[in-house]
Structures are given as structure tokens and as C-alpha cells.
Chains A and B, each alone.
Chain A
């Protein structure tokens, strides 16, 4: 059984159809990349998988481990192991980062019927995962994402991924706004989480990220449809010839 099975998915936002029949399967252990030009529906796909309000599924299905994702609330999807790293992580002044991490971690544990972690154990766990991502105590004490640099925000997304240990991770343009050093650090963090039991969907505009996170499959999304699929080489091909050509040929 595939970890994620998307079948002829149609999605409408504000009355406009953005996804027009997407079919895609990702088995556990694989990393798939979705590439596409601006406006192709990449972010719509990620928000729909995570369950954001306003992204209406008007046709088709999304199955996660055989379960209909569309029937679950965003928080239920998270507790079951679906994680979305956002392109633009939200700033929330007034909520300390560590408090947020503890609240989210325990909410997921509670939903799964696991015991909650106390403050000390949470802190230990967070510290242990944070070091590898070069996230210090000071950052954890600051309000969530408030005043964080682009790189800090993305590292914090990856820290959450490491902390929550999802089964399906969706990374939405995690490379945007990162310089090469930050990109490498984030990619290392992601690669460390590759595992036979975990599937990943990496959404990106540029090939650059895929030099560091090498995918098993690459899919090209254009105008709400997957127009081409291939191996890791397809990303390089796109980089050389550009989206326009690939989309035309398809």
C-alpha cells in the first residue's frame, strides 16, 4: 500500500478550479518532488493535503495509509503523521517558541492516546534535536517566528519535523529565501529524516534544492495537472530547457 495515494483530485479555491485532476502515488521510504512554474497549483496541493479551510475538494480522493484524508481536520491529520512545512511560516508574537512546540507535541500525543511530556522532558527532546539545526536556546525563548530571519524560520520548520516525526512530510518551497549555507543546513536536516517508514513530498520551483535532497521521482505540475513524471534527472532537464518547453511537449 502506498503511503499517499492521490486519485484524480480536483480542488477549487474561491470558486476557481486550481487543481484539475491530479493522480500521484508515493510509497513509504520514497522522496518525490513536485516542480512547476508559479501559479501551477503547487501550494494549493500542499494546503489541500494539510486540510486548510477554503480549499474545497470537488472531485477525486486523497488516501493516506488507506484512510480518506479529506474526512479529517487539520489537527487530526497532524496527529496521524502528516506534516506540512510552510513556505511562509507564520509569525505569532505573544507565544514563546518553546511553549508552542510543547503544546503541539503534546496535542499530537494526546490525540494518539500517548502520555504527554512534562516541561523538562520536552526541553531535553527539543534541545537534542535543535543542536543539529544550529538552533539555540535564545531562539526557542523568542516569540514564535517573530523577527526570525528567513533561514531561522525554515530551520524551525525542520526542527518541528524532527520533533513530531511524521510519516508523511510535505515541504512547500522550503528553499525559498535561503542562501546556500542555510539551504545546505536545511537539506541536511531533511536528509537525516529520510527513513524507510517515511514518505516525503518536496515542492519546489527550482532544481537547486534537489541537488541536496535527491528525489526518487520528479513530477512536473502545470495548470493544475501533472504533465510529466520521471527520475531525478528530470529536474536537471527542466533546469536546462525551462518549464515552458516541458509543458508544451506534454
Chain B
């Protein structure tokens, strides 16, 4: 694995200096895309913490929306710094996660049914955000009150490089959490639960506690990602931060890259964002929905032929021990 380590160090170094590499007039744009990749990879990572154990959520947009809107509303209406707001946001997401996950766990709602419940939750949050338009601006969204060109208190910076490094660190943090969980006995317990709840319980694993814990962790991190995204774009909108669309886009990216490996969500996110940017530039506004159509086709092909995803499958070829399969 030493070559792997060298490679990883080189990639990290390249990412570290990227904002200072002269790229002609393209610099701003490249930075913009990369920040998106970091943030959405982090969110994909948070999703895969649950997804890899068979807790497939199709409503993670709910947690994104709760996160992003909590800090934004607290800032716009009460002037509360996002540094504090983010804690409230994560707590709110955890509360929502428990409200959803506890009954599911209690009444044995698993698999496809769990997916459907979460799908509905994502939509409920989106509709709520639209309905409460006096606060949230409804479907027009909400712009963060500006606090000058560079404000630490408001976490607003005109210089996108600040966000680049911030998102970079956040992304690394997500990978660290994933790695820590992967190496712990909790991962084994979750795998056991994902496969056979009765057998898992019979060897002393507290099934619902584990499910609630992993769901809470995933929700909190997703809300955190939502906050980072809102601070970066300085604008929140129910369509981009809640509901089916964004929820499925997270799932697409992770399934594409591979949910059973550390870098799977990152690879998948980088590919889907690149693809949608490419299609946007190529087709402009002519073929609206083209990106989604192509995603859909790719997803079907992947689920059938490469259930471990692009990165997961490549890694499976390189590493002798085959990775766990879907």
C-alpha cells in the first residue's frame, strides 16, 4: 500500500495548491466546481454511512434542508452566527432523524419500505419550506443577509478560496469519520444488523440503538453539509436543498462511485457534477432534463453490472479480497 500512500499524498498536495495554479480565466470556475465536489462528496459520504448497511434513505434532502434553512433563518432573523447556528441545525436534523427512524425501527420498516418513508419525509420538508413562505421565502428561496466581503462571524467570504479550503477540510473530515467507523466493531454490528436483525439481536447487538445512532450521525453530517453549502452559495432554495430531486442526486452519485468504499462517494460525486456541468455547457438550456436522463440510464447500468460502483469495482480488482457486495 506504500504506492497508494504516495499517490494519496500527491493528490492531497495537488488539491492543496490548486487555487494558486494559474488557469487563465478558468480559475474561478474550476474552484467553483471543486468546492461543489467537496461539499457534495461530504454529503454523499454521510449518506453512505447508512446506505452501505442497507438503510437506503431516499430523503436525505430533508436533512440538508433542515440544516441549511436553520442557520440561514437564525442568521437572517436573529443575527445568530452560523458557528452556533450549525450546532442548532445539526441538532434539529438529529431530532428529525429520530422522529423518522424510531417508528421505522420499532415497527420493523426496512428495505424498500424504509426507502419510501424517507422519500416522503424529503418531500414533506420541501413542501413545508414552500408553504411557510413568510419565513422561508417559499419557492423563491432566501438570500443570506450580507455581512461585507469577509466576515468570520457571518461565515461569508467574497474570496472563494476561503471556501475552497474550508470545504476541503470538511471533505477530509467526512472521510475520517467514514474510516473510523469502518475500522470499528460498530461497522461489524451494523453489517450484522443489515443482514439479519434476529441473529444480530441474539448475539447481544441492540438493533434499534445502532440504527438510530447511525441514522442520527448521517443526518447530522448531512445537515452540516447543507449549512456549508448554504454559506457558500449564500442562497437557499427548497428545490436545491430538499425534496426528491436532490435526495436522489445524492443517491445516484454514491451508487455510481460505490458506497462500500472510502472514496466511492467522492468519485461518484466528481463524475456526476462533471457530467452535469459538461451537459450544461454543451446543451445549454436546449435539452433541459438531459443530465437527469443520462444519470438515470447510467444508474440502471451500474446497478446491474457494477453493484460496487466504479471506484469500488476498480478497488476490488486491485485488492485481493473482494469487497462486500450489494
Whether A associates with B in a native complex is no
